[in-house]
Chains A and B, each alone.
Chain A
């Protein structure tokens, strides 16, 4: 398979003006501005195959959005190599831009005072989409996202969920081969989230589109991303299958048991950390290396009807990622 995206030792530094608090600080920064370099990306390398759907996760300010912006040609890399669909994104060649799209959950391209259809028509012209194709795509997208009846409503009168779906349509009318989704479900209600999620899944499948997704929404990642890249403080901490992330970073395993009597039930905490105790059910978390011993002890000393050993839920690991706990 060919690679859609190649990133090699990508570095991006920003210079920011530092301002001390208060009026004196403001005046001081006016006279002698204090510049501070921010290292947003410190040598990031990865590559993505055509048709892959990859989740980008990490705490706020980890460098996810910076990476996406660099890949779509908005930011000029400080150093390193970036190639998307065999183009250097920074050149922003029309052939390149016609094949990609960047959707940012909090940015809008729709014309606020006009119906969404006007923005769609404009994008048709900008992306030079043939009329037949445009009509087919529009019909398909509005049907999939169940928003057909609102295309003639001025954007300012749409709800956030409706607007976000319109944004998605505007970004996808030209059928991009590479899609960068930055928090596509942010601020949406549960139903709208599910619609957008299903849609992303379908789009990836149907068009073999390469998609990078960043999200703080657990369900987005678990349902969509097979492969995840964990990024923190501008560095990649993990790159691999979602399940592997769990086995690599979960230091514990979960033992679930069904007890037949309450004998010695107070001694259960000697086995491991009790997560839940609601007789007859008990959930204990034990260190990964001591799982077998703990299970044997449990069987020996307690009246166990049934016992299973499980991995820590993916959610718990991802939550750790968001908290920036993986770097330790």
Chain B
């Protein structure tokens, strides 16, 4: 266990190695939230207006909840794995008596903890500046369900990243392309990070909800807001757990195949 604690520590130090770029990155995050906030604020300028079943307070809470959930789920160091595979850096890890998956999971956790602590401060700053009408969940059971859905989301994202990162085993030149497709297109659009999934037409919405993507952002946020409860909550947790198992097994399988064709290029 000490092994992974050390990885956690060094990872944390690494995040601080470039202080200025770290600050700039956090700054960019805040700007993004400003943009989203003012966009939705403008749409709901008229206080009585309801669009897609969302009123001003609900949509603004959604936007703020995304800050926190995003910082928890979508910040992952494991995005570098594809590069490791394509450039043969993977060799450095395989040669050591440690588990490569656990290594990256540990690095992800350190990144997430750093992220969430900063997101927390940013949240307070933004809250004080914008003074949005927010909704705070008080039901312990719902908060518990929210936490469970977050853990599932983190794991699903981790497995997804690792599956995508295995592409360069077979096609080194596709590494970035496949990453772009999955992390930028699919996840940004279908996870609910840009807009709530339930504004989609019912048919499409249902298809999307049977995919793993909305369980990364949309589902945990809705659970927190108390919009998904009872049978729907159980159904959602079940679908996401099934995806978790499927993705986990697929990842193990793909990697055991990939390592056999691994060439350790770059000398």
> Which residues on A are within 8 Å of B, measured CB to CB?
14-15, 17, 65, 69, 72-76, 92, 94-95, 97-98, 100-102, 104-109, 111, 113-114, 118-119, 121-128, 154, 182
The answer to whether B10 touches A118, judged by C-beta atoms less than 8 angstroms apart, is yes
Nearest chain A CB to B7 CB, angstrom units = 7
Nearest chain A CB to B72 CB, angstrom units = 25
Is B88's CB within 8 Å of the partner chain A? yes
The answer to whether B17 touches A114, judged by C-beta atoms less than 8 angstroms apart, is yes
The answer to whether A182 touches B267, judged by C-beta atoms less than 8 angstroms apart, is yes
Contacts of A104 in B (CB 8 A): 91, 267
- State which residues 174-217 of B face A: CB under 8 Å: none
The answer to whether A75 touches B3, judged by C-beta atoms less than 8 angstroms apart, is no
A108 to B, closest residue via Cβ: B92
The answer to whether A114 touches B264, judged by C-beta atoms less than 8 angstroms apart, is no
How long is the Cα–Cα vector from A216 to B89 in the complex, in angstroms?
Answer: 23
Is B131's CB within 8 Å of the partner chain A? no
The answer to whether A65 touches B94, judged by C-beta atoms less than 8 angstroms apart, is no
Query: Which one, B55-63, B229-237, B243-251, B255-263, is touching chain A?
Result: B255-263
Nearest chain B CB to A328 CB, angstrom units = 27
Contacts of A154 in B (CB 8 A): 17
The answer to whether B6 touches A73, judged by C-beta atoms less than 8 angstroms apart, is no
Q: A107-B89, A125-B5 are in contact. Are A74 and B266 (CB under 8 A)?
A: no
Query: Which one, B95-103, B110-118, B138-146, is touching chain A?
Result: B95-103
The winner among A94, A107, A109, A119 for most chain B CB atoms within 10 A is: A107
Q: A114-B14, A126-B7, A128-B3 are in contact. List 19 more A-B contacts (CB 8 A).
A: A14-B263, A75-B262, A97-B96, A98-B97, A100-B95, A104-B267, A105-B267, A106-B266, A106-B267, A111-B14, A114-B17, A122-B6, A122-B7, A122-B10, A125-B3, A126-B96, A126-B97, A127-B97, A182-B267
- State which residues 77-108 of B face A: CB under 8 Å: 88-89, 91-92, 94-98
How long is the Cα–Cα vector from A106 to B260 in the complex, in angstroms?
Answer: 23
Is B29's CB within 8 Å of the partner chain A? no
Contacts of A128 in B (CB 8 A): 2-3, 97
Contacts of B10 in A (CB 8 A): 111, 114, 118-119, 121-122
Is B13's CB within 8 Å of the partner chain A? yes
Nearest chain A CB to B223 CB, angstrom units = 37
Partner among A14, A94, A107, A182 whose Cβ is within 8 Å of the Cβ of B97: A94
Contacts of A118 in B (CB 8 A): 10, 13
Nearest chain B CB to A28 CB, angstrom units = 15
Is B18's CB within 8 Å of the partner chain A? yes
The answer to whether A74 touches B6, judged by C-beta atoms less than 8 angstroms apart, is no
The answer to whether A113 touches B17, judged by C-beta atoms less than 8 angstroms apart, is yes
How long is the Cα–Cα vector from A94 to B91 in the complex, in angstroms?
Answer: 15
A-B CB contacts (within 8 Å), total count: 83
The answer to whether B18 touches A74, judged by C-beta atoms less than 8 angstroms apart, is no
How long is the Cα–Cα vector from A76 to B89 in the complex, in angstroms?
Answer: 17
How long is the Cα–Cα vector from A106 to B91 in the complex, in angstroms?
Answer: 12
Contacts of B3 in A (CB 8 A): 125-126, 128
The answer to whether B92 touches A109, judged by C-beta atoms less than 8 angstroms apart, is yes
B103 to A, closest residue via Cβ: A126
How long is the Cα–Cα vector from A127 to B96 in the complex, in angstroms?
Answer: 8
Partner among A14, A17, A73, A106 whose Cβ is within 8 Å of the Cβ of B95: A73
Contacts of A105 in B (CB 8 A): 267
Contacts of A119 in B (CB 8 A): 10
How long is the Cα–Cα vector from A182 to B266 in the complex, in angstroms?
Answer: 13
Contacts of B89 in A (CB 8 A): 107
Partner among A15, A113, A124 whose Cβ is within 8 Å of the Cβ of B18: A113
B90 to A, closest residue via Cβ: A74
Contacts of B7 in A (CB 8 A): 122, 125-126
What are 13 A-B interface contacts by the 8 Å CB criterion? A15-B261, A69-B91, A72-B95, A94-B97, A94-B98, A97-B96, A104-B267, A106-B266, A111-B10, A111-B14, A114-B10, A122-B10, A154-B17
How long is the Cα–Cα vector from A128 to B1 in the complex, in angstroms?
Answer: 10
How long is the Cα–Cα vector from A109 to B89 in the complex, in angstroms?
Answer: 8
The answer to whether A113 touches B98, judged by C-beta atoms less than 8 angstroms apart, is no
Contacts of A109 in B (CB 8 A): 92
Nearest chain B CB to A11 CB, angstrom units = 14
Q: A97-B95, A107-B88, A128-B3 are in contact. Are A113 and B14 (CB under 8 A)?
A: yes
The winner among A14, A113, A123, A124 for most chain B CB atoms within 10 A is: A113
B99 to A, closest residue via Cβ: A94
Partner among A17, A69, A100 whose Cβ is within 8 Å of the Cβ of B264: A69
How long is the Cα–Cα vector from A95 to B97 in the complex, in angstroms?
Answer: 8
Contacts of B171 in A (CB 8 A): 17
Contacts of A98 in B (CB 8 A): 97
Nearest chain A CB to B170 CB, angstrom units = 9
Contacts of B266 in A (CB 8 A): 106-107
B93 to A, closest residue via Cβ: A109
How long is the Cα–Cα vector from A96 to B181 in the complex, in angstroms?
Answer: 39
How long is the Cα–Cα vector from A118 to B16 in the complex, in angstroms?
Answer: 14
The answer to whether A126 touches B263, judged by C-beta atoms less than 8 angstroms apart, is no
How long is the Cα–Cα vector from A118 to B95 in the complex, in angstroms?
Answer: 19
Contacts of B98 in A (CB 8 A): 94, 126
Contacts of B91 in A (CB 8 A): 69, 74, 102, 104, 107
B260 to A, closest residue via Cβ: A76
